Amino acid sequence: MDSTDRAADIGEFLASRRARITPDQVGLPVYDAAKRRVPGLRRQEVATLAGLSVDYYTQIERGKVTGVSESVLDAIARALQLDEAERSHLFDLHRSIVTGPQRARPRRAKTIRPMIQRMLDTSTVPAYVRNTRQDIVAANLLGHALHAPLYPDPLHPDPARPVNVVRFCFLDPFAQEFFLDWDQVADGVVNLLRSDAGRDPYDRGISDLVGELSTRSDEFRVRWAKHNVRLHHNGVKRFHHPVVGDLTLDWESMPLPADPGLALTFYCPEPGSPSADAIALLASWAATNLQDQSTATEQPAPRTTDE
């Protein structure tokens, strides 16, 4: 991604944030609503709220941010009512423009440490490790079993390529059956990918994935153009698993500080619930069918509509 692309990203992000806020939400008067040509705030209104001149704010929205201070970015974030994820994304985009590729690019872990794999293997619930492009790079037996629909052949995984959750979500027709709340999941994976792309715009793996999906999926392209971002910490996800049926699982995701770019996720059913019974059944199925399969490192690619 070159400097022009990054400047366009920060401009499109700021424009998308001001488009969602109406003047009355920020206490500004509207004298003639019929004459307004924008759905949200005008640049002049954002500049007023941030204490900036309209010319200065316009230059920032055009990506000319060299020399812009953190206090100015903070003022813009407050004016646009950015949440924590959006504020972080704004600062990431700014940093990627004003620093060179080598300084802006974060260090990424390349392998899974044995200690992390032991943590996975000793867990009694589905667990896996993902990277910034949402490849599943390691999993325990239950994590492998839960995500079995992502594999072309879960009984004979090909270690050559990792399973990618985003690609599965948008290119495999089974995804809308597997994820019971597919729209919510689709929004989540795109928003998370957008956040990680902002942190490392030079990540070739992310940019290649975005290019592929933008070409092949209208659903992805529309979501990507919204410039929404999110933090990925916890929630509830519902699945329809082809072996054990419906599952409702709480999930918790945490970064691995010693392994930059990797995050560990656990799925836990409510004790005594039907989902807990289903997880026990899934564990039995996995022990019978998947026990001899390796889940320690890279996993196979998901099925796609043209394979």
Q: Which residue ranges make up each domain of the chain?
A: 3-104, 114-289
Q: Which CATH fold topology does 114-289 show? A: Beta-Lactamase (3.30.450)
Please give the class, per CATH, of domain 3-104: mainly alpha
In this prediction, residue 108 carries a pLDDT of 73
Residue ranges for the chain with pLDDT beneath 50: 294-307
In this prediction, residue 298 carries a pLDDT of 41
Structure tokens at 47: 């500049």
d(CA 96, CA 162): 28
In this prediction, residue 156 carries a pLDDT of 55
In this prediction, residue 127 carries a pLDDT of 97
In this prediction, residue 2 carries a pLDDT of 55
Nearest to 191 by CA among 224, 236, 156: 224
In this prediction, residue 283 carries a pLDDT of 96
38: phi > 0 → left, psi -120 to 50 → alpha, else beta; which? beta
Residues 6+ apart with CB under 8 A from 288: none
